[in-house]
A = this chain, B = another copy of it.
Amino acid sequence: MEPIDQVTARAWLATALAEARAGLEEGGVPVGAALYGADGTLLGRGHNRRVQDGDPSAHAETAAFRAAGRRRSYRGTTMVTTLSPCWYCSGLVRQFGISRVVIGEAVTFHGGHDWLAGHGVEIVLLDDPECAAMMREFVARRPRLWNEDIGD
C-alpha cells in the first residue's frame, strides 16, 4: 500500500469532519467517518445516527462501511474517522481487512486502535484540535448520551 501524505490525510479527515458536523446539527453524536479506496476514491461516508434513527448500531464507521456497500475485498482501503474507533468499530476494521485507519483524535476517547496496530493495520493519528474540541464540548454538554453511545 502507498504511504499516505499529510495533505491527503487532512483532506480525507475533512470529509469525516463534515459528517460529524452534520450529525451535531441533527442533534446527534458528532462522530463522522469515510471509507476511501486504494486509489483515493470515496467509497462511502456517514456519521453516528443513534439519536436520528434510534439505532444503537449506527456508529460513524459502520455507517460509512454500510454506505460503501458490498465489496469483494477491503484490501488497501482506508477508514477515516474523527475519533479513535471503539471496540465495535475496531472489530469491523479487523474482520473486513481494512488496511489503514486515519484518526482525527484519540484524546477524548481512546478506543481499539493500538490493538489494530498490533494486528497489522496502519494507524495514522492526526491529533486534530478541531475534532478534539468538538467532542470535548459535546461530552461536556451531553455526558449521558455519550456514555450511552459507548456502553459506559
Contact = CB atoms under 8 A, between A and B. Distances in A.
Stoichiometry (number of copies): 2
A50 to B, nearest CB: 7
25 contacts: A50-B70, A54-B69, A54-B70, A55-B66, A56-B65, A56-B70, A57-B66, A57-B92, A62-B62, A70-B148, A71-B148, A73-B151, A74-B151, A86-B91, A87-B91, A87-B92, A87-B94, A87-B95, A88-B88, A88-B94, A88-B95, A88-B96, A89-B91, A91-B91, A91-B92
Contacts of A71: 56, 148
Closest 7 CB pairs of A and B: A91-B91, A96-B151, A87-B95, A87-B91, A57-B66, A88-B95, A88-B91
A76 interface: no
Contacts of A97: 151
Interface in A22-70: 50, 54-58, 62, 65-66, 68-70
Interface residues of A, number: 31
Interface of A: 50, 54-58, 62, 65-66, 68-74, 86-92, 94-97, 112, 148, 150-151
A65 B58 CA distance: 11
